[in-house]
Amino acid sequence: VDVINQLKAYGTVLEIYDPWANPEEVSHEYGLELIKQLAQKNIFDAIVLTVAHNEFLEKDLQTLLNTNGVLYDVKRVVKGYVDGRL
C-alpha cells in the first residue's frame, strides 16, 4: 500500500493486480480497486512487482511491457531480466 500511495503522489496511473487478494476486502481496508486479470501483452510502461506469488513466476512479465517499459522486482521473485531490485 505504501508503494501504491507513493506512486499515486507522483500522478501515476495505476492498475493493481493481486490474484490472492480479495477485491472487496482491499477496497474496504485500503480504498483501492484491483483489476481482475492481467492484460495479454504490451500495455504497461512499468511493472512494480511487490508480492512473491507463484503466479508471477509462471508469467512472462516482459510481454506485458511496452517497448521501453521497465520491470522492478521488489521481492526478488523474477529469476530472469529485471530493470531493478531492492
Mean pLDDT by 10 residues, the chain (86 residues): 92 93 95 89 88 85 90 81 68
Whether 8 contacts 28, CB under 8 Å: no
At 34 the pLDDT is 95
Strand runs labelled E in 15-83: 44-49, 65-73
CA dihedral 25, 3, 13, 79 (to 10 degrees): -100
pTM above threshold 0.75: yes
At 57 the pLDDT is 81
At 86 the pLDDT is 56
Can you read off the three cell numbers belonging to residue 47?
Answer: 511493472
At 11 the pLDDT is 93
At 79 the pLDDT is 73
